Structure 1
Amino acid sequence: MEKIRLGRTDLEVSRICLGTMTFGEQNSESDAHSQLDLALARGIDFIDTAEMYPVMPSAATQGSTERFIGTWLKKSGMRDKVVLATKAAGPNPNTHWIRGGKQNFDEANLRAAVETSLQRLQTDYIDLYQLHWPSRNVPIFGATAFEPQKERASVAIEDTLAALGKLVDEGKIRHIGVSNESCWGVCEFIKQAETKGLPRIATIQNLYNLTARHFETSLLDETCFREDVSLLAYSPLAFGQLTAKYHDNPKAHGRLTIFPPTWSPRYLRPSVLLAVAQYTQLARDNGLTPTQLALAWCYSRPFVASTIIGATTLAQLEENIAAYTVRLPQHVLEAVDAIHASLPNPGQ
């Protein structure tokens, strides 16, 4: 497994990252431990989680994912063999059970979030600490346009960085990153860090897959290239749509059928289903599984530092990892771009 350095840090991670948001909902603790064992055996040393996980979020399960990883770290003794990333939840009235509904990125909230994550993870430091979504109003999670009328009070980026700086100084976190961020947000984080002598973001964890290529055209690609901010691509299989399991059987068991459709409506748009049908046909016409096409394409993008994969079975995880060795012919890459040109970013 190839490795890559994140941003301007000393963190070197595998080009595949194990996503864990199914741990505690779709996967039991023993399932989680088996996935972690398999990932490590296949050369994956990068693990991503969040205080909010598992999904879909609920008060009953919140924190279970970190707890399952923590029991694995304690049992396996592998803490020094992995790069551990987690995330702090931003403001959201629908997750009011997190930190008493006061979740945000001020010093008190970030300290509480870090300390509870450390307890659940059974470790004394986090390698990469990320802000799960912005404190301010920004179009995310399927929103397609910025809406000024939705402006809300938010924590200044300078204040957030100052709070994170204290946690870095205390050794509780090593490096920081953002998630679901915009071009303006990345630029502001860099500006405040450099002008105020505060910690510099190393990564951005944003949506990126065959149905959602906005990163390439939203100025984020150039910004992150010039500012040395590494992309961690999440949802490379579009919540399972790009595996074609729902294309083949709309009632297939998975998060798009077991969770309410209101939770992830962007992956149920007619344009997404049309795009999935075309990518599925392209894959099968070229002797590939749809999963291989979607992941091999994402793995091959030069600006993707590490691709975050998730699975609910070990067989799925094996296929997802094995796709790293697949090299797509030029005519397939050109066909992918042709489909994208006809159906641009339906899952964004």
Structure 2
Amino acid sequence: MEYRTLPGSTLHVSAICLGTMTFGQQNSEAEGHAQLDYAFARGVNFIDTAEMYPVPPRADTVHATERIVGSWLARQDRDKVVLATKATGASRGLQWIRDGQHAFTRANLRAAVEDSLRRLQTDYIDLYQLHWPERNTPMFGEFVYDPAKERPFTPPRETLEALAELVDEGKIRHIGLSNEWPWGLMQFLNAAREYQLPRVVSVQNAYSLLNRTWETAMLEFCHREQIALLPYSPMAFGLLSGKYLRDPQARGRVTEFDGFAQRYSKPGVPEAVAAYAALAEAHGLSPAQLALKFVYSRWFVASTIIGATSLAQLEENLNAWEAPWSEALEQAVADIRLRWFNPAP
């Protein structure tokens, strides 16, 4: 396993991060622990979760993932695990989390952190992320900003001041953003500079063969500002594994949860998936290996967040690190992209 230090931080993380959002819904506690044990044995030291997990978010399962990660973490050497979790943002309207009080204010963030610490059975969180912007932005398959949807939001300075208190108290070590856009990241960086507040060290956004939105404004911005990308959904909800090509009713989030995969229900997605699967076969790879190795091989990716619902899937995902990548594959991927350009932003 390769390890990288997130710029501007003390976090030395594995190049692959285990995502856990299936724990508590698609995976039991025992299955979650088995995945964590296996990943940890393979050199993965970076674990990502969130207070709202598992997904899709529901009142009767909320917080289960953090509790499952916490019961595993309680028997580990804490210093050997880099633990990331997230604060729920305001725009999803999840009333069962803190009675819907999700603005990134001092009171709400303190309550969220202390609740997560208790569930995770730890004294500190290595990377604490704002799960999505509080302000109006395109999210989760949307791609057009609509000023008619404007709403009040907490100023970034106020949010950073609240997080700074938690850093000073040792409850969190570093902060990150998720599902963010250039304007929002700029506001956080400017506030940190002007008021000597903690600086964002990472952004967790969707990135895959089907969604390369990152490669425009966010790529230049984060390269120049030295902000790490932690891509999630490198397999596009499993579509890029090719399993739905073989069996449209295959078990997975796309078929089990109505409407949950709307980001991938767009024209061009089936054709692009089929083209990438054919490319993988032509080069002696599985579709999953191609999809993951593409993300693993990007120079701007700090650590790729993978997820699985079985140990067999997890093993394949980790083994994809060793899959070959060539100029011929790079060119073929570029050719497919031009035919079906960014079909699932």
Matched, 1:342 2:339: yes
Matched, 1:130 2:129: yes
SS at 1:40 equivalent: helix
Q: Gaps (5+ residues) in structure 1?
A: none
- Equivalent residue for 1:140? 139
Aligned length: 345
Q: How far 1:44 sits from its partner (Å)?
A: 0.3
My pick for the range that moved more, 202-211 or 93-102, is 93-102
Q: How far 1:270 sits from its partner (Å)?
A: 3.2
The verdict on how the C-alpha distance between 1:323 and 1:119 changes in structure 2, with shifts beyond 3 A counting, is same
Aligned pairs for 1:64-213 (under 5 A) are 64-74=64-74, 76-213=75-212
- Equivalent residue for 2:236? 238
- Equivalent residue for 1:53? 53
What is the letter of the counterpart of residue 269 of structure 2? V
SS at 1:139 equivalent: coil
Q: 2:307 aligns with which of 291, 307, 310?
A: 310
What is the letter of the counterpart of residue 96 of structure 2? W
My pick for the range that moved more, 93-102 or 322-331, is 93-102
What is the letter of the counterpart of residue 64 of structure 1? A
Q: How far 1:327 sits from its partner (Å)?
A: 2.2
Report the TM-score when normalising by structure 1.
0.98
Q: How far 1:300 sits from its partner (Å)?
A: 0.2
Distance 1:285 1:327 in 2: 13
Distance 1:102 1:179 in 2: 19
What is the letter of the counterpart of residue 304 of structure 2? T
Distance 2:54 2:107 in 1: 24
SS at 1:21 equivalent: coil
Q: 1:161-214: per-residue Cα shift (whole Å, max 9, x none)?
A: 010000001110000000000011111111110011110000000010000001
- Alignment check: 8 A CA contact 1:93 1:101 kept: no
- Alignment check: 8 A CA contact 2:202 2:229 kept: yes
- Equivalent residue for 1:267? 264
Matched, 1:276 2:273: yes
- Alignment check: 8 A CA contact 2:253 2:260 kept: no
Distance 1:54 1:159 in 2: 29
Q: 1:236-264: per-residue Cα shift (whole Å, max 9, x none)?
A: 0000000000111100000100001x222
- Equivalent residue for 1:24? 24
SS at 1:175 equivalent: strand
The verdict on how the C-alpha distance between 1:94 and 1:247 changes in structure 2, with shifts beyond 3 A counting, is farther
Matched, 1:325 2:293: no
Q: How far 1:66 sits from its partner (Å)?
A: 0.4
Distance 1:103 1:183 in 2: 22
Distance 2:27 2:86 in 1: 20
Runs of 4+ in structure 1 over 3 Å off:
none
Q: How far 1:80 sits from its partner (Å)?
A: 1.6
Distance 1:263 1:32 in 2: 22
SS at 1:128 equivalent: strand
- Equivalent residue for 1:258? 256
The verdict on how the C-alpha distance between 1:175 and 1:39 changes in structure 2, with shifts beyond 3 A counting, is same
- Alignment check: 8 A CA contact 2:91 2:135 kept: no
Distance 1:230 1:344 in 2: 25
Distance 1:93 1:142 in 2: 14
Q: 1:277-334: per-residue Cα shift (whole Å, max 9, x none)?
A: 1001110111110000000010000000000000000000000000001121211110
Q: How far 1:269 sits from its partner (Å)?
A: 1.9
- Equivalent residue for 1:39? 39
Between the aligned residues of both structures, percent identity stands at 56
Distance 1:8 1:270 in 2: 40
Q: How far 1:94 sits from its partner (Å)?
A: 3.8
Distance 1:78 1:338 in 2: 46
Distance 1:230 1:267 in 2: 25
Distance 2:93 2:343 in 1: 25
SS at 1:204 equivalent: strand
Distance 2:279 2:224 in 1: 34
What is the letter of the counterpart of residue 346 of structure 1? P
- Alignment check: 8 A CA contact 2:135 2:153 kept: yes
Distance 1:328 1:197 in 2: 43
- Alignment check: 8 A CA contact 2:253 2:261 kept: no
Q: How far 1:93 sits from its partner (Å)?
A: 4.8
- Alignment check: 8 A CA contact 2:91 2:134 kept: no
Q: 1:70-115: per-residue Cα shift (whole Å, max 9, x none)?
A: 10111x2232211000000001354111110111200100000000
Q: How far 1:342 sits from its partner (Å)?
A: 1.3
Distance 2:183 2:339 in 1: 28
> CA RMSD of the aligned region, Å?
0.8
Distance 2:13 2:180 in 1: 21
SS at 2:65 equivalent: helix
SS at 1:90 equivalent: coil
What is the letter of the counterpart of residue 60 of structure 2? A
SS at 2:62 equivalent: coil
